[in-house]
Amino acid sequence: MNPTRSHDAPLTVGGLDPHLFDVEQRYAPTPTAAGGVTATVTATYRGAVPAQGRLRISVGLADADDPYWLIPGLFYGENRPADNHRRYPRFARAVDEPADPGRFVSPAWSFRADRAATPAVFVWGASGGLALAVDERSSLGLSGIGFAHEAGTARLHVDFPYVEEPVSYVGSQEPAAALAETHLWQPGERHVVQVCLYRLPADRHAYAPVLRERHARSATEPLRPWVAVGEAADLAAYGLHRWHYRPDPAVLLETAAFDREFNDNVKGLGDRGAMHVAWVSGIPYAHALLAHGRRTGDDDHVAAGAAVIDHVCANLAPSGTFWGQWTAARGWGQSWTPVRGGLHARTLAEATLFLHRAVRAERAGGARRDGWLRAVRSNLDVAVRNQRADGNLGSLLHAEDGRMLSWAGAAGLTWVAALAEAGDLDPTYLESARRGGDYYARFVDEEFLHGAPEDVDLAPTSEDGYAAILAYVALWRATGEPRWLETARRAADWMLTFRYSYDVHFDGHTLLGRYGFRSRGADQASPSNQHLHAYGLICLPEMVELSAATGDPHYLDRTRENLACFRQFIARADGDFNAYKGMASERYYQTACFQAKGMLLTLSHAWSVGVLLLGCEAALNLPEVTW
């Protein structure tokens, strides 16, 4: 990709009164494989009295009647399917749908930069695309990024300092008044800002080299994990067993409160009496606890992990699959869905995948788990039986009779991983995985994977990326076919759009700021759930395998960062960051969403502790890799 000259896509500098400000632009090629130019803009205030001012730098793309947008971790295409029941910002062309900011619908959006995993905004039209990228902050404060569409022209812009338009999304289903930062210019004051501009080919995947370049620019400070991998594993196993495990019946409670006095006095608001079979609790983390117990000789951890899996496997739904969730109040029941009797495909498939891995691990150690294996086969048989002729494995099935209730989205993609890894049990499983892989590859090619988590309906999420990596690495491992490796590579690049490539600035008076939390390596959960989370560790071994198979060290480097990031804020002792030993939060607030920036959710989640344990155990089984 050749460097862009300034006259190829001229930048427009606005927002400042030209009678009061002198503005100078200089352009220089960006000396990287991604190409592009760096624009240096100098603004000097010539007014006689202090004045407010915001600098906006923009660029237009004329052949964009039907644009595709990308703001990493924040905005993907239209971003929210029209029929998605959960509200958050959505793009709609004016010719298709009138703007309705009250419902988060608009042809133009502006955001604060710390909402983005990489502060950059991309657009593609009929013949190619453009991108603008900035640093999170400048001397004018927190930067902003955004876009607008009108009459077939797409415009990208960056703001110094940021302003959000038309409204702000802060996690609520109702919009907040637009957030903004202002700067009061003093007479004679001068500021210099930089913007990188890229011209892109028509392939939407052309974001990948740009994001690699931006990561390389930002990844200059050393990683600072608090503990080594082995110690992190020990802490996570302790926390999972001490705070989340309950023996009768054997479950891993989904949440445990940091504040034990509050939890004990206000029942039900901290320790959640519930366990999903996978996703936010259940089999994957019981498997991790069991594996840790086997490796370290901890009989209590072995017994607890096995007991949780026994409990799940002994209570299949009438459909032949697992149930979605156990609760203390109602026992076994459906998934988190408003559809009565619905069981979510991704949750069932993830439970099956990790159950089979547990069976194999136990067999390698000399333990037979016949009941577990029967549960694996029962779930896989239902998946194969329901699969459509085109390969779609479905998204939601009925707990009683197993009929498919929804085929929407890509929630069924995790079945591909479970089926591909079970080809040794029955060759029809691998054939089903191939057909599923072919069907769901369109979501990867279109750069819009969505539907994996139960709680955000059909939103695009980082968890969709993890599911795709699990699926396509498994297919490549099972078949050796290069097409699956290429799809896995593209899926990994898409997943990495959610991974923070820089360390967010936190004020020193906040908890994350005071502890020096480094966000590089953490993932934005989704455009709907704008907080950092650790779930990417679930596919740590697949990312290492992908790096080796492609000969591309970038995937290993980003995985190292992921594991290093979440070896911060695993409580090392009672009282560490107001938690108890072995606790880990689900949410790190890096922007203005749900909570104030710099805060930490004071709940330990079984999956947050569990994916750290899974990742650490996987890393310890890869002695050839330096972590």
Taking alpha carbons only, the member of 394, 406, 415, 403 closest to residue 349 is 415
Q: Do the Cβ atoms of 86 and 457 come closer than 8 Å?
A: yes
* Element containing residue 386 per DSSP (H, E): helix 370-386
Per-residue pLDDT reduced to its tens digit, 270-300: 899 999 999 999 999 999 999 999 999 999 9
Taking alpha carbons only, the member of 464, 321, 458 closest to residue 384 is 321
Q: What is the percent of the chain with per-residue pLDDT over 70, rounded to a whole number?
A: 98
> What pLDDT is recorded for position 517?
97
Spell out the alpha helix ranges (H) of 219-269: 229-239, 260-265
Average pLDDT over residues 524-530: 98
Average pLDDT over residues 89-95: 96
Token pair of 463 as six digits: 């968890």
Q: How confident is the model at residue 9 (pLDDT cuts 50, 70, 90)?
A: very low
* Element containing residue 343 per DSSP (H, E): strand 342-344
Assess whether pLDDT exceeds 50 at residue 2. Answer: no
Q: Do the Cβ atoms of 20 and 46 come closer than 8 Å?
A: yes
**333 phi and psi, to 5 degrees?**
-160, -160
* Element containing residue 38 per DSSP (H, E): strand 37-45
Assess whether pLDDT exceeds 50 at residue 7. Answer: no
> What pLDDT is recorded for position 268?
62
Query: Could you check whether the bond before residue 249 is cis, i.e. omega within 30 degrees of 0?
Result: yes
Judge residue 289's burial from the number of C-beta atoms within 10 Å of its C-beta, 0-12 exposed, 13-18 middle, 19 or more buried.
buried
Average pLDDT over residues 148-156: 97
**Sign, Cα dihedral of 163, 511, 264, 238:** positive
Query: Could you check whether the bond before residue 166 is cis, i.e. omega within 30 degrees of 0?
Result: yes
Assess whether pLDDT exceeds 90 at residue 262. Answer: no
| Total residue count of the chain as it appears in this document | 627
Average pLDDT over residues 529-537: 98
Distance of CA 545 to the CA centre of its chain: 20
C-alpha to C-alpha distance for 274 and 281, rounded to whole angstroms: 9
Identify how many contiguous H helices and E strands the chain contains and give both numbers. Answer: 15, 30
Q: Do the Cβ atoms of 585 and 603 come closer than 8 Å?
A: yes
> What pLDDT is recorded for position 267?
66
Mean pLDDT of the chain: 96
The residue whose two tokens read 């991790």 is 288
Assess whether pLDDT exceeds 90 at residue 31. Answer: no
In the sheet that holds 325-327, the strands lie side by side as: 274-276, 325-327, 331-333
**From its phi and psi, is residue 360 left (phi > 0), alpha (psi between -120 and 50) or beta?**
alpha
> What pLDDT is recorded for position 34?
74
Per-residue pLDDT reduced to its tens digit, 405-444: 999 999 999 999 999 999 999 999 999 999 999 999 999 9
Token pair of 303 as six digits: 């017994």
C-alpha to C-alpha distance for 359 and 130, rounded to whole angstroms: 49
Assess whether pLDDT exceeds 90 at residue 206. Answer: yes
Per-residue pLDDT reduced to its tens digit, 335-376: 999 999 999 999 999 999 999 999 999 999 999 999 999 999
Position 10, amino acid: P
Assess whether pLDDT exceeds 50 at residue 3. Answer: no
Beta-ladder partners of 75 = 71
Give how far Cα 102 sits from Cα of 68, 337, 608, Å: 23, 25, 34
The residue whose two tokens read 């060290």 is 553
Assess whether pLDDT exceeds 80 at residue 320. Answer: yes
Cβ atoms within 10 Å of 310's Cβ, excluding its own: 16
C-alpha to C-alpha distance for 437 and 418, rounded to whole angstroms: 12
C-alpha to C-alpha distance for 171 and 169, rounded to whole angstroms: 6
Q: Do the Cβ atoms of 451 and 400 come closer than 8 Å?
A: no
Beta-ladder partners of 404 = 397
Average pLDDT over residues 536-562: 98
Average pLDDT over residues 453-481: 96
C-alpha to C-alpha distance for 326 and 222, rounded to whole angstroms: 42
In the sheet that holds 342-344, the strands lie side by side as: 342-344, 396-398, 404-406
The residue whose two tokens read 């302003």 is 163
Cβ atoms within 10 Å of 605's Cβ, excluding its own: 25
DSSP notation for 20-37 = TEEEEEEEEE--STT--E
Average pLDDT over residues 379-404: 98
> What pLDDT is recorded for position 220?
87
Cβ atoms within 10 Å of 79's Cβ, excluding its own: 24
Assess whether pLDDT exceeds 80 at residue 553. Answer: yes
> What pLDDT is recorded for position 263?
79
DSSP state of 243: I
> What pLDDT is recorded for position 1?
31
> What pLDDT is recorded for position 208?
98
Position 185, amino acid: W
Angle between helices 427-445 and 462-479 (to 10 degrees): 130
Taking alpha carbons only, the member of 615, 596, 598 closest to residue 607 is 615
Per-residue pLDDT reduced to its tens digit, 53-91: 999 999 999 999 999 999 999 999 999 999 898 999 999
DSSP notation for 319-337 = TSSB-SEEETTTEEE--S-
Assess whether pLDDT exceeds 80 at residue 615. Answer: yes
Q: Do the Cβ atoms of 372 and 357 come closer than 8 Å?
A: no
SS3 of residue 420 by DSSP = helix
Cβ atoms within 10 Å of 333's Cβ, excluding its own: 16
DSSP notation for 47-100 = -SS-EE--EEEEEEESS-SS-EEEETTTEETTSS-TT-SS---EE--TTTS--B
Cβ atoms within 10 Å of 201's Cβ, excluding its own: 12
> What pLDDT is recorded for position 310?
98
Q: What is the percent of the chain with per-residue pLDDT over 90, rounded to a whole number?
A: 93
Torsion angle of C-alpha atoms 495, 459, 280, 261, degrees rounded to 10: 110
Cβ atoms within 10 Å of 416's Cβ, excluding its own: 33
